[in-house]
Amino acid sequence: MPFITLGFGTPVSFLYAAVHRRSLGLGGTAAGYGAGTAAVLMMLQSGNPFFIVFGSFVMLLLWIAGTGHAFAVRSSVFPREIPRSVLNEHAIEVAKYRRTLREQARALASEDPALARELRIGRPDVPRTYDDGGLVDVNHVPRAIIEALPGMTPDIADRIVRRRAQTGGFVSVEEMAVDADVPPDVLPQLADFTIFLR
């Protein structure tokens, strides 16, 4: 708009942007361009040759400055939305990456259980630097974390914690399912996120 209107539409453009973004800064900019445009119109209508020449020069400056300024703030006033498909693809990539991290952490725990305990694999309840992709060590985490697992209910979590205290822990999700009476339909959801360190 500032370009098409030779700069005379600049105040309106920035006023619209100020209202759209609820920005006092853009409102002040609109007022500044408005004052400059009003001054140019007054100089052009004065009849004085000096003021006419000077006003034309200022009008040219306002046109160029307003156009450049409008293009500069356009992306912040009207940010481009990321297409939903791109966001979905990113979410899929992140989920696959987290799954890979869990697989790597399981392999490490299988090869070197002591190192896995030192890295605190499966322990989101304690400070750590190793990213295990969201694994939960059912044998050691607090009850609240077990209850947050997919498909888990308070009753199932209570049974798991109670049985864990009696037996000293589980060796697999299948053993946990049998000992703590975990419904079979919950097992596939648990299998991807659980690990059992002794």
Neighbour tally for 12: CB within 10 Å = 16
Q: How far apart are CA 10 and CA 1, in angstroms?
A: 7
Residues contacting residue 21 through CB under 8 Å, at least 6 positions apart: 76, 77
The answer to whether residue 147 is domain-embedded is yes
54 and 135 housed in the same domain: no
Q: Which domain holds residue 49?
A: 10-77
User: Residue 138: which of 193, 96, 187 has the closest Cα?
Assistant: 193
Per-10-residue mean pLDDT of the chain, 198 residues long, equals 74 80 81 84 84 81 80 74 80 94 95 95 95 96 95 93 93 91 89 93
The two structure tokens encoding residue 114: 């002591």
The string of pLDDT tens digits covering residues 135-176 is 999 999 999 999 999 999 999 999 999 999 999 999 999 999
Chain centroid to Cα 197, Å, comes to 33
With respect to residue 88, please indicate whether it lies within any of the assigned structural domains: no
Are 15 and 33 in contact, with CB atoms under 8 Å apart?
A: no
0.85 exceeded by pTM: no
